[in-house]
Amino acid sequence: MTLDERRWQQKLARKRKAQANRKPSPPRSGTPSPAQAAQRPIHDSLIEKGLFKNGIGLVGFARAMPDGDVALSAFLVDVYCLGVKNAFYRVVSPAEWAEFLQRSELEKIHPSCLRKLVEGAVAYARDLGLPPHADYARAAQLFGTIEAAACPVRYTYGHDGKPFYVSGPNDTPAQSKRMVNMLTRRLGADGFHFMTATDIPAVAAPTADESADRVATWGYEITRDPIPEPEFERLPDAVQARINELHDEIQQAKPRRAVPALRALIEQHPEVPTPYNFLYAAYCKLGEHAEASRVLQQTRERFPDYLFGHISWPTNV
C-alpha cells in the first residue's frame, strides 16, 4: 500500500470519527418524533460512494416536512464488521440539510435498498455479538413502511468471506485488544481478519527540491493479532488504565485536563510512545498546532518505528 493510499485511509477514518462525534443540534420545540415524521413524503435517500470498497461510510434517509424543514436519519455503517457505529435522527433546516450533503460524496439509492443495506449490516454485526449504536432503533423509525424486501440487490458483508475488523486511528491498544479477543472467542482464531501496519520505513520531511506529496511505500498485513505495543503492555495495569482514561477524556472534549497528566506520564515512562501520541491528539483538539507539531517531532525522534507517528506525520508536514 502506498503512503498516499494509507494517508487517504487514515483521513477517511478520522473524517468518519469527526462525523460520528459531531453533536446534533438541540431538539426544537415541538419537533416530531421519527415515527411521526415517517408519515411524510420521502425527500431523499443517499449512500456514500464507494461504501463497500472502503468498508465504512455515511448513509442518510430524509423526509420532507410541511414547513420546508427536513427530517433526517443518518447512519455511519461499517459493512466489514461493526454494523451501525453511529446514528442520529433530527429535523434540520434547509441550510443544515445542505451542509449534510457537503460532508461526504453521496449518491442516490432506492429507499428500499437503503433500508435493506442498513438492516443487513446490523444483522451481520449482531451475529458477531456487536449491537448497533444506541440511537439506531430510534433513527430507523423514519423508514416507516418502506419494504426492504422490495430491493432486488443482494448485499454481502465482511471482506473476502470473513469479518474484517479495522482498528481505528483513535482506538487505544486496550480497545483493539478487547475487540480482537471477543472476535476470537466467538469465531475462532481463523474466523476473521484484523488489520495492522508493519515494516513501516521512516518518512523524511520533503526538502526544498522535493514535492510535499512525494509517495513512499508502506507495508501492511491482515492478521488476527492486536497491534503490538510491547512498551505499553509492560506497564502496570493501573498505569495502562490511567493512560486509557486520559484518551477517553480527550475524546470527550476534555483535552486541557489531560495535558498535564500526560506530561507527567511521559516523565515517568519516557520509553513508552503511547502518552506522546495522546498528548499530540490533545493539542490537536485544543487547536494548539505548534505544540502538537513539537510533540509529534519528539515522538518521531524518540520512536522512529512507531506506527501512529508515521500516520500523523503526513498530515502535519
- pLDDT category at 213 given cuts 50, 70, 90 is very low
Nearest residue to 158 via CA among 251, 248, 56? 56
Average pLDDT of the residues of the chain: 81
* Alpha helix ranges (H) inside 27-110: 34-37, 51-54, 94-103
**DSSP codes joined into one string, 220-271:** EEEESSPPP-HHHHTS-HHHHHHHHHHHHHHHTT-HHHHHHHHHHHHHH-TT
**Residue pair 56/134 in contact by the 8 Å Cβ criterion:** no
Give the rounded percent of residues in the chain with a pLDDT score beyond 70: 74
Residue 2 pLDDT greater than 70, yes or no: no
User: In this structure, is the dihedral angle defined by the CA atoms of residues 200, 315, 18 and 51, taken in order, positive or negative?
Assistant: negative
May I ask the CATH class of domain 164-206+215-316? mainly alpha
Residue 131 pLDDT greater than 90, yes or no: yes
Residue 93 pLDDT greater than 90, yes or no: yes
pLDDT at 37: 97
For cell 431538539, name the residue.
27
pLDDT at 46: 97
Contacts of the segment 177-180: beta carbons below 8 A, 24+ positions apart:
177/226, 180/224, 180/225, 180/226
The domain limits of the chain are 26-150, 164-206+215-316
pLDDT at 254: 81
What are the backbone dihedrals phi and psi of residue 83, each rounded to the nearest 5 degrees, phi first?
75, -140
- pLDDT tens, position by position, 176-203: 788 888 999 999 989 999 875 433 334 4
Nearest residue to 78 via CA among 128, 29, 28, 7? 128
Residue 298 pLDDT greater than 90, yes or no: no
**What are the grid coordinates assigned to 127, written together?**
451475529
Nearest residue to 273 via CA among 246, 293, 300? 300
- pLDDT tens, position by position, 248-266: 888 878 889 899 999 999 9
User: In this structure, is the dihedral angle defined by the CA atoms of residues 198, 9, 245 and 280, taken in order, positive or negative?
Assistant: positive
CA distance 170 to 173: 10
